[in-house]
Amino acid sequence: MSATRVAVLGTGGWGTALAGVIALNGHRVRLWGRDAAHVAEIARARENARVLPGAKIPVEVELTADARAAVDGAEIALVVIPSQFMRATLAPFRGAMPPGAILVSASKGLEIGTLRRPSEMIAEVLGPHPFAVVSGPSHAEEIARGLPASLVAASRDLEIARRVRDVMASPRLRLYADDDAVGVEIAAALKNVIAIAAGVCDGLKLGDNAKAALVTRGLAEITRFAVAQGARAETFSGLAGIGDLITTCYSRYGRNRDVGERLGRGERADAIAASMTMVAEGVGTARALHDAGVAGEAEMPICAEVHAILFEGKDPRRSVADLMTRPVRDA
């Protein structure tokens, strides 16, 4: 396969890790960040010490804070930007993206106030382009160290998904092409809300039984919501669904799980947010679901309780009691 020109937009841990993988596959990669001083430091040290300390960035990755230079000639642009900052961060790229460039979202969340998925926000800012979504059970810390993982590249146009798959796949990163982009995006967003709830279980020391039940019922909530949005139910029994949910709910790297654990131990949500250097997407997604009124309509009690703990000051123990005493029902 000939070298592809790839722009990676976002110098968080996930963007940095993916830029390294793609560059080592022999492609021409530019990694863009909006903080010029931070970008210069990464370029000098060949390490993103702020989010991936100890993981060296291949010399093949070119770094820039110039938006137009980042996407000049790009055939694929990978967007790895927190969903709540998506529109403002992408604004400098309006009119700069090459026609026909494939836009790939590796972002995870739903926009507060609109419930837009990342692909919808990107299209509204940058205009129509071929589009794909990449997600699955993967932490940047492990990808950057070359540990094996598997992802899904999804697009309504399966040929686009295959093109993205072939550019990103390596002996350590296996990708599967799929055409349920809506399902993959929703799975990526909502698993972070369930991970906060799983962390609450850990913080309250509720045990393995309770956490397994919560994760399983959380998957049911995600699936119900996604199917109502046009996704396929079977997507959620694969890597993008249960695979990513397990990783996020159980890994020590999971920021959302960590937020929940700290809530369960009695810390305040605002104090947790102030102490974090990276975004826990589940916080914004829980608010987006609540503000749109869908948590009640789609029968999403776990997501509703996560919002109540985060934004209404509800005692996590009270939330657990309320979930456990809901009216009994058939499976």
Query: What angle, rounded to 10 degrees, do the helices at 281-291 and 181-204 form?
Result: 110
Residues annotated as part of the active site:
191
Helix (H), strand (E), coil (C) string for the chain: CCCCEEEEECCCHHHHHHHHHHHHCCCEEEEECCCHHHHHHHHHHCECCCCCCCCECCCCEEEECCHHHHHCCCCEEEECCCHHHHHHHHHHHCCCCCCCCEEEECCCCCCCCCCCCHHHHHHHHHCCCCEEEEECCCCHHHHHCCCCEEEEEECCCHHHHHHHHHHHCECCEEEEEECCHHHHHHHHHHHHHHHHHHHHHHHHCCCHHHHHHHHHHHHHHHHHHHHHCCCCHHHHHCHHHHHHHHHHHHCCCCHHHHHHHHHHCCCCHHHHHHHCCCCCHHHHHHHHHHHCCHHHHCCCHHHHHHHHHHHCCCCHHHHHHHHHCCCCCCC
Separation between Cα atoms, residue 199 and residue 165, nearest integer Å: 32
Residue 93: count of CB within 10 angstroms of its CB: 21
Whether the Cβ atoms of residue 14 and residue 140 lie closer than 8 Å to each other: yes
Separation between Cα atoms, residue 112 and residue 52, nearest integer Å: 28
Nearest alpha-carbon partner for 14 in 36, 33, 1: 33
